[in-house]
Structure 1
């Protein structure tokens, strides 16, 4: 992904919408962004890094729909529930 890809993806969003960073596909969590840093790597290529908040603020588990959209997990449907039978009245035995 490039800076242009991110700009294109974000250009359709409301500028006041909060941004969260989705981390770790095996234990998906949402984090607050902390900053953007640019530098030149060891091969002379410019690189951009998006950092987590310095407070390491975590907002809890990533919503399942986001993990599915990122293809970090497959869609899961709740198992069908069986109707429970009724218990006969206890007549003291």
Structure 2
């Protein structure tokens, strides 16, 4: 059985990690860090936007900043022939 995440990667999703800084409701001068990770599509990041919309509607800690890293884990394979034998890299 193929995993849901693998199928999403084949559809163009890549692993997205967001570092979210938010203010503590009781102490607005202090920042707290939350790490979010999910498969998403760059550059629009619809899954991240859904999560941030949920955050704004539901949670008390106002967002300060969001830093995003994204990597497509499945890439085209590179082929190379050595003495007529195909090797994968």
Which structure has more relative contact order (CA 8 Å, sep 6+)? It is 2
- Greater strand proportion: 2
* TM-based fold match above 0.5: no
Between structures 1 and 2, the one with greater helix share: 2
Q: Which of these two proteins has the greater Rg computed from alpha carbons? A: 1
Q: TM-score, normalised by structure 1?
A: 0.23
